Amino acid sequence: MLDSKLVIDGLGHFGPYGGRFVPEALIGALEELEAAHSSALLDPIFQAELAELHRTYSGRPSIITEAKRFAEHAGGARIILKREDLNHTGSHKINNVLGQALLTKRMGKSRIIAETGAGQHGVASATAAALMGLECVVYMGEEDTKRQSLNVARMKLLGAKVVPVTSGSRTLKDAINEAMRDWVTNVENTHYLLGTVAGPHPFPTMVRDFHKIIGEEARAQVIELTGKLPDAVLACVGGGSNAIGIFHDFIKDADVRLIGLEAGGDGVETGRHAATITGGTRGVLHGTRSYVLQDENGQTVESHSISAGLDYPGVGPEHAYLHDIGRAEYRAITDAQAMAAFALLCQTEGIIPAIETAHALAGAIQVGNELGPDATLLINLSGRGDKDVQTAANYFGIPL
């Protein structure tokens, strides 16, 4: 039904979304990156190197786990978890950073910069930089450095420099602004290792290409286990990288529902949320056209979520397009719903998920109850919750 690449032209558009809204100074670097990515896709040596890293460093392929006790609370539907939480560094993020770090070397650059919210992408970037001998600077909102001090320490242990960002709202969106300012200034020797499927072309397609292995593996694993395709694939959506990663190989399977779960915060109706597709409007942010949380003058509105990794007022342009054409559905999950699902997975399966991921699990409870015991749901368990222990303990009133 659809071109599986979903890029309508050579300029990185997904229907009306995507494209390149950046200072002219960055065009050269984006063209260079696009060329490096395109040639790497066709280069068997590059692909073999990446595959070897997946196998011997990240721990791919990640396994699938059937969550039978959790499923009792999800209408009795079969619940299958794709275990990206078992990857090295604890989430799907490693897939993208290894790919982009290899591209950095391919372009002859020696320095990477990255933005991070909760710290997962920052830790993954610092990890890849250490592995490949690259200088690494991570921009992190000052607020987030305080909330996630453990991850700041992890990045420093890995040899990265962490720069607290004090401008704007001092969170993820401002960390991206600061990373872009660094990039404009140091583009000669620096690659901006963007952590999600947003930003200017080629980032949305390139980051997707590095994550689509999640869906490719999971599709084969589910068929092997159940003998058929799942009825629905679910993933949490902030910028949307883990969701695109697991969705992509199923886009061609028209009968498989693709369901993205956004961060509903206190509830979309309260205005305190990060559900960009559910509660946002079309706009341009951080170099791409997509849905954006914005006011009547086009100023970005601050997002709110218990999950730092989903706390972003934009979303990848491919998701905006999949939404508009009706190929994927997006729902908002409140903080309370996510935390209930978080606790449930801990206590029924012995798996502590990331709070980001808990949004997808809350979606699985909803959809499982809607579809009943005949349905099979595949959920991307995008990250583990070690980093969230303090937040969760505070939330549930467990004294530390």
C-alpha torsion angle, residues 333, 337, 339, 343 (rounded to 10): -130
Judged by beta carbon, residue 54 or residue 273, the one nearer another protein is: 273
Grouping H, G, I as helix, E, B as strand and the rest as coil, residue 147 is helix
Selected range binding another protein among 35-43, 79-87, 98-106, 185-193, rule: CB under 8 A: 185-193
Contact (Cβ atoms closer than 8 angstroms) between residue 236 and residue 359: yes
Burial category of 324 from C-beta neighbours within 10 Å (exposed 0-12, middle 13-18, buried 19 and up)? middle
Per the annotation, the verdict on 224 as an active-site residue is no
Q: Does 107 bind another protein (CB under 8 A)?
A: no
Q: Which residue of 2, 4, 5, 25 would you call a contact of another protein, by CB under 8 A? A: 25
Q: Is 11 in the site for another protein (CB under 8 A)?
A: yes
* Cis peptide upstream of residue 313 (ω within 30 degrees of 0): no
By DSSP bridging, strand 257-267 and strand 272-274 are antiparallel
Reduced to 3 states, what is the DSSP secondary structure of residue 323? Answer: helix
Task: Give CA–CA dist 124/130, Å, rounded.
Answer: 10
Smallest gap from Cβ 304 to another protein, in A, equals 16
Q: Determine the Cα–Cα distance for residues 138 and 123; give it in Å rounded to an integer.
A: 9
Residue 177 as a binder of another protein (CB under 8 A): the answer is yes
CB of 310 to another protein, least distance (A): 19
Region near another protein per CB under 8 A, out of 70-78, 174-182, 361-369, 370-378:
174-182
Contact characters 258-287, another protein, x per CB under 8 A: ------------------------xxxxxx
Minimum Å gap between C-beta 303 and another protein is 12
Question: 14 forms bridges with which residues in the sheet?
Answer: 17
DSSP assigned state of 74? T
Question: Does the active-site annotation cover 84?
Answer: no
Work out which of 37, 109, 147, 173 binds another protein, going by CB under 8 A: 173
Q: Which member of 93, 109, 173, 212 is catalytic?
A: 93
Is residue 93 among the annotated active site residues?
yes
Nearest distance in Å: CB 224, another protein: 44
| Backbone phi and psi for residue 160, each to the nearest 5 degrees, phi listed first | -85, 155
Contact set for another protein, span 297-326 (CB under 8 A): 297-300
Place of tokens 């499923």: 71
Beta carbon nearer to another protein, 27 or 254:
27
Query: Cα–Cα distance between 14 and 319 in angstroms, integer?
Result: 9
Residue numbers at the binding site for another protein (CB under 8 A): 11, 19-25, 27-29, 167-168, 173-174, 177, 180-181, 184-185, 187-188, 282-287, 289, 292, 294, 296-300
Which residues carry out catalysis? 93, 115, 382
